[in-house]
């Protein structure tokens, strides 16, 4: 028995090491069929100087059961939607149906090579085409590309489309139109995506009500340099920008285009359509609104949807339907911004999203939206007595609170979030949007029933009480997890970003 093992633990899993620390020389967890062609010396096929010279030293040598236990133990340290409510604002953590998973694994799709000829991939192209049709109907925007791999990738695509459109419309004079307007409440990806497309960013203020400041927008639009506006709607405070039509008109009048960040589409599906509001281009997050799983940080899928006018600028290849009803790839789009990803995007996510759309049906999609908004309203009402709610307007699918009342006792948003873990919930999104001090952004989604909403509200109220009666309890939370709060500042000062064997580590 090696020293250092802590025997007195409730479960062995807290001791799970890194796989490299478990590795035993010579252990294997696989078997390949014997080679069925005559083996040639490797250096007779490839010059010796090109061959690997380190025998992959340091890579793990473990058995299959080692692998299974390793990952199953680690999995028990994760919170997940299947365990309970995951109210991360702006992330739309809704239930991921197992049926969608099954669909994505159908061999006719899972085993299909992306460079199979069109005639040999008709079913796969049909899935893309049908999903495009449904997304066009849901957004009111007819031009669709499913190629972007995630929300930020869809944003970049949308902004590049705006740039290509302006360059085509204005010719050389487009070079004076390089300003992208972004509200101070926006996701950080918005300015980062605008920058990638060669735009400089100007920030629009929000009003005391939490909406875009129209006067400030007009002022910023008065200089002839505005390429467009990036707007999230409902915005990141969970409020519908009720002046959206006027906002679009102001930007259009100034010669710019309107890009909508579709991260919050879960509040709108079946109720209102960005295309009807005057929006020119939007990205969706299939991994939010259309229930494809987040996978611990991806894969996502960030379709870009645009007006007829912008359609020629979408990435290639486009998936189209021929007169004879067959499906085809069209790369003959001279105004296209180009390709944003190899092949066709995160196809497996498209299968799941189409499955979601078809199992819900049109009435089910609307019901999901209603339930998502109803749940957020219920939480908004339930928590108003104990937490500061900075905006009076009723929220859509998510609601923001602050830690203003709790800070008097030295309890901050981070502490409340960590204490929520002790109550069995995943915390809400914290410190976002940036314009709300100590923001707590709560998005329950439609996948939570009233009983669980009540439990969440009770937990939050209980924490509010603890913040008064026993603030230390909250400040030192969480108390029931495998590890306590980690020293992130130290981790960033001297980053250790990979495992190294002991000797190598001391050698530097």
Partner 1 sequence: MLDSIGLKSAEDLFDSIPETLRLRRPLNTPAPLAETELLTRFEQMGARNNGAQRTSFLGGGAYSHYIPTVVDHILSRSEFFTAYTPYQPEISQGTLQTIFEFQTLVCQLTGLEVANASMYDGSTALAEAVLMAERVTKRSKIVASRSIHPQYLEVVETYVQHAGIHLEGVAYDNQTGQAGAGLAAAIDDQTAAVVVQSPNFFGCIEDLTALAEAAHAKGALLVVAVTEAISLGLLKSPGHCGADIVVAEGQSFGVPLSFGGPYVGLFATREKYARQIPGRLVGEAYDKIGRRGFVLTLATREQHIRREKATSNICTNEGLIALAATVYLETLGRKGIQEVAQQCLQKAAYAAKQISALPGFSLPFSGARFNEFVVRAPINASELLARLGDKGIDGGIALSRFWSDNPNDFLVCVTELNTREQIDALIAGLNSLSNSH
313 or 469: CB nearest partner 1: 313
Among 132-140, 222-230, 306-314, 467-475, the segment contacting partner 1 (CB under 8 A): 132-140
**Helices 347-383 and 450-469 sit at what angle, rounded to 10 degrees?**
60
358-377 residues near partner 1, rule: CB under 8 A: 358-366, 370, 373-374, 377
**DSSP H or E stretch at residue 429:** strand 429-430
Least gap, CB of 474 to partner 1 (angstroms): 14
Size of the site for partner 1 (CB under 8 A): 190
- Please list every residue from 78 through 117 that binds partner 1, using CB under 8 A: 78-83, 86, 88, 91, 93, 96, 99, 101-117
CB of 224 to partner 1, least distance (A): 20
Given 245, 249, 320, 504, the residue binding partner 1 (CB under 8 A): 245
Our CB check for partner 1 shows the closer of 430 and 468 to be 430
* 143-145 and 257-261 strand pairing: unpaired
- Which of 215, 324, 392, 488 lies at the binding interface for partner 1 (CB under 8 A)? 488
Q: Which of 178, 179, 182, 185 is nearest to 206 (CA)?
A: 185
CA dihedral angle for residue 332, residue 333, residue 335, residue 337, rounded to 10 degrees? -100
How far apart (Å, rounded) are the C-alpha atoms in residues 35 and 58?
26
For partner 1, the closer CB: 7 or 113: 113
Residues in 290-309 at the binding interface with partner 1, rule: CB under 8 A: 293-301
CA 420 to chain centre: 22
Scan residues 325-354 and list those touching partner 1 (CB under 8 A).
337-349, 351
Residue with smaller CB distance to partner 1, 408 or 485: 485
Strand partners, 430: 440
Between 12 and 469, whose beta carbon lies closer to partner 1? 12
Distances in whole angstroms, Cα of residue 15 to Cα of each of 6, 11, 481: 8, 9, 13
Contact indicator for 505, 494 with CB cutoff of 8 Å? no
How far apart, in whole angstroms, are the C-alpha atoms of residue 492 and residue 507?
21
Q: Which is nearer to partner 1, 141 or 340 (CB)?
A: 340
Cβ 122 to partner 1, closest distance in Å?
Answer: 4
Phi–psi pair at 168, nearest 5 degrees: -70, -40
- Residue of 12, 18, 222, 505 that binds partner 1 (CB under 8 A): 18
Three-state DSSP at 328 gives: strand
Residue 388 C-beta: closest distance to partner 1, Å: 19
Task: Return the number of the residue (46 or 469) whose C-beta is nearest partner 1.
Answer: 46
The contact mask relative to partner 1 for 38-77 (x = CB under 8 A, - = no) is xxx-x--xxx-xxxxxxxxxxxxxx-x--xx-xxx-xxxx
**Of residues 12 and 271, the one with the C-beta less far from partner 1:** 271
CB 346 → partner 1: shortest distance, Å? 4
Residues 6+ apart with CB under 8 A from 42: 51
Contact call for residue 166 and partner 1 (CB under 8 A): no
Q: How far apart are CA 39 and CA 121, in angstroms?
A: 36
> Which pair of structure tokens corresponds to residue 120?
């040999």
Three-state DSSP at 391 gives coil
Local structure of 118: helix, strand or coil: helix
Least Å from the CB of residue 89 to partner 1: 11
Residue with smaller CB distance to partner 1, 337 or 464: 337
Q: Determine if residue 314 is left, alpha or beta; phi over 0 gives left, psi from -120 to 50 gives alpha, anything else beta.
A: beta
Contact 179, 257 (CB under 8 A): no
Answer whether 461's CB lies under 8 Å from 473's CB.
no
For residue 71, the minimal CB distance to partner 1 (Å) is 5
145, 318 contact by CB (below 8 A)? yes
Residues 389-448 that bind partner 1 (CB under 8 A): 393-394, 396, 417-418, 421, 426-427, 432
Nearer to partner 1, 251 or 337 (CB): 337
Tokens of 375: 């749940």
Q: Based on CB atoms, which residue is closest to partner 1, 74 or 408?
A: 74
């Amino acid at each position: 028995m090696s020293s250092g093992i802590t025997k007195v633990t409730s479960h062995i899993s807290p001791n799970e090491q890194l796989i490299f620390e478990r590795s035993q020389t010579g252990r294997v967890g696989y078997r390949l069929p014997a080679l069925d062609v005559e083996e040639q010396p490797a250096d007779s096929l490839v010059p010796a100087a090109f061959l690997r010279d380190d025998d992959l030293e340091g890579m793990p040598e473990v058995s299959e059961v080692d692998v299974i236990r390793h990952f199953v133990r680690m999995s028990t340290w994760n919170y997940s939607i299947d365990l309970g409510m995951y109210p991360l604002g702006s992330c739309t953590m809704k239930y991921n149906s197992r049926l969608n998973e099954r669909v994505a694994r159908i061999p006719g799709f899972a085993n299909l090579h992306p460079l199979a000829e069109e005639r040999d991939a008709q079913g796969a192209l049909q899935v893309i085409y049908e999903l495009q049709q449904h997304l066009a109907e849901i957004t009111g925007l007819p031009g669709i590309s499913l190629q972007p791999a995630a929300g930020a990738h869809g944003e970049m695509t949308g902004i590049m489309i705006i740039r290509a459109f302006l360059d085509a419309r204005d010719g050389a004079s487009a070079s004076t139109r390089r300003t992208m307007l972004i509200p101070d409440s926006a996701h950080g990806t918005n300015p980062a995506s605008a920058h990638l497309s060669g735009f400089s960013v100007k920030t629009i203020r929000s009003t005391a009500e939490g909406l875009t400041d129209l006067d400030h927008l007009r002022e910023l639009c008065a200089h002839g340099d505005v390429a467009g506006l990036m707007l999230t709607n409902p915005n990141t405070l969970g409020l519908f920008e009720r002046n959206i039509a006027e906002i679009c008109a102001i930007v259009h009048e100034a010669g710019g285009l309107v890009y909508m960040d579709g991260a919050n589409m879960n509040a709108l599906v079946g109720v209102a359509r960005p295309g009807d509001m005057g929006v020119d281009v939007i990205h969706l997050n299939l991994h939010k609104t259309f229930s494809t799983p987040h996978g611990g940080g991806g894969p996502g899928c960030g379709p870009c949807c645009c007006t007829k006018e912008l359609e020629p600028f979408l990435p290639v290849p486009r998936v189209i339907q021929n007169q004879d009803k067959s499906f085809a790839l069209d790369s003959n789009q001279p105004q296209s911004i180009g390709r944003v990803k190899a092949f066709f995007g995160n196809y497996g996510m498209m299968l799941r999203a189409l499955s979601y759309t078809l199992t819900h049906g049109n009435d089910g999609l609307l019901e999901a939206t209603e339930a998502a908004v109803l749940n957020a309203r219920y939480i908004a009402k339930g928590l108003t007595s104990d937490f500061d709610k900075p905006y009076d307007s009723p929220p859509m699918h998510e609601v923001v609170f602050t830690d203003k009342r709790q800070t008097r006792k030295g309890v901050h948003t981070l502490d409340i979030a960590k204490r929520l873990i002790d109550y069995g919930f995943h915390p809400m999104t914290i410190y976002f949007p940036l314009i709300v001090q100590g923001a707590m952004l709560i998005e329950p989604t439609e996948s939570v029933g009233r009983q669980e909403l009540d439990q969440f509200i009770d937990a939050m109220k209980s924490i509010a009480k603890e913040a008064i009666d026993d603030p230390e309890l909250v400040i030192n939370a969480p108390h029931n997890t495998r590890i306590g709060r980690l020293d992130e500042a130290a981790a960033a000062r001297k980053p250790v970003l990979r495992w190294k064997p002991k000797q190598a580590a001391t050698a530097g």
